[in-house]
Structure 1
Amino acid sequence: MTNADVQKVAAAAWRIRRYALRMGEVQGQGYIGQALGYADVLATAFGHMMNFRPAEPEWEERDRFLLSHGHYAIAYYAALLEAGIIPEEELETYGSDDSRLPMSGMATYTPAMEISGGSLGQGLSIAVGMALGLRQKKNPALVINSMSDGELDEGSTWEAAMSAAHYGLTNLINIVDVNKQQADGDSRKILGFEPLHEKWASFGWYVQRVDGNDLPAVIKAFENAKSWPENQPRVILCDTLMGKGVPFLETRDKNHFIRVDADEWQKAIAVLDANKPEGVL
């Protein structure tokens, strides 16, 4: 990892946040707190880690990114825009009738949307099957499953974790967004999940826990996961701050779906613009 790598990913994360805010303004709503908080992870995945071809979203040897938490679609679409998989002009269609960018991720609508997420706790199980299938076909692609900490409440998540370790799925990386929020409140109080590092390790995974908004740490964690030599699946636990990059949203009371007033979208974009990374035009 070089300084140039970090600067490149930082610029991508800034644009992902800005794209997400612009989409949120189109509909006047969206899971924008998660989008801002998770932008650094998505920028690292698409801008530094993954092997894909923007013009061929179904290329057989592409790395697969599974959005288990389908309500993060606004963040994922922003990453696809940044990656050149979706043209920027489609941004204005977000959440509209006949759009390829529905408000929850659906594989039948959107290029590079590998699964229809949103029924939480399903993504990792699908990822295990996908990783097994790719290994059987001797396909070198990685499977990256992205999930929320709320999905840790689901028993299917832990059955999948046990299966992945049993089969030694070295081609599987699981990312958990530990933002400590779900629909009913603080996810740690709804059903306590700590200590996460020790739990995943006890299931046989190679575990890293990082500040999900510390770009060098996130990049290093992805690199470590990809190069880890042992016969284990890999998990990256990313502690993120909802609303990251827009202070007046960072400090707002979170109830999983941040309320943003009509005049605040442009204010949030102006905050981002005033703090754009060096070298971004």
Structure 2
Amino acid sequence: MSIEEKDFGKAFLYSCYVDKAFGHEQFIPEHVVMFQLSGETHFDHEKGKLVTKEGQLLVARRNQLAKAFKYPSKNTVYQSIAILLHTDRLKKYALDHQLSSDKKQSTDINILLEGDAFIKSYFESLAPYAEASDRVSPQMETIKIYELITLLLERYPSLKNLLFDFSEPFKIDLEEFMLKNYKYNVPLENFAKLSGRSLASFKRDFEKIFRTSPRKWLQEKRLSEAYFLIENKRKRPVDIYLDLGFENLSHFYASFKEKFGITPATINSIA
């Protein structure tokens, strides 16, 4: 199996897969712009699911949880180029061009667009950098990212409200948030930030609501869901462990047996 995922600059990531792959990054700290060169990317996020197909452009808002599943097409490999738009760089661009968002806390999370000839040509211009052995210089990286921001604003003016919304997450209902997002395998600091809390405040509020620690609750919740899916939905362990936030299959098996006294395979084999 041939796999390639190449970071060719601090803000550029090229992905090429022959077989289905799972994107390991589940917390998106900065805005991401991704162009689908071939294959499909399936995104699970807090408001549902979306699929990017060849020639489509995805603009994903910073400070969100999401899972990416990468699928090659029948006739070719999976290929995409993703660009991180760091907040500091966007703030400088906004200052240089006297831009600001027309509203705060934009409700847009992920925007899927049809790429046109200009967008396609831009991402194709990055191919030589992805294929080269040297990394993109900081000077060239800035030039290419400023080019992308300008292109996006010219082709899709409404993106201004997403790109230049620099507000931080506000305090939200913690119980509802955790019940919706417990399957994401991210550090507690990310859960805290997205719920609008410091880590200390997050832990304090969490224990008041759930009467246990965040780490213990997450483990118990994920394992209980796994048991339900295997017993009632006849799911295979290999098909669900990543969806439930476990890092690898062996860790899932060990944790499952420690809690229930049996292996997931034992349940699945019961007629």
Question: TM-score when scaled to structure 1?
Answer: 0.29
Work out which of the two has the higher radius of gyration on C-alpha atoms and give 1 or 2. Answer: 2
Question: TM-score when scaled to structure 2?
Answer: 0.29
More strand by share: 2
More helix by share: 1
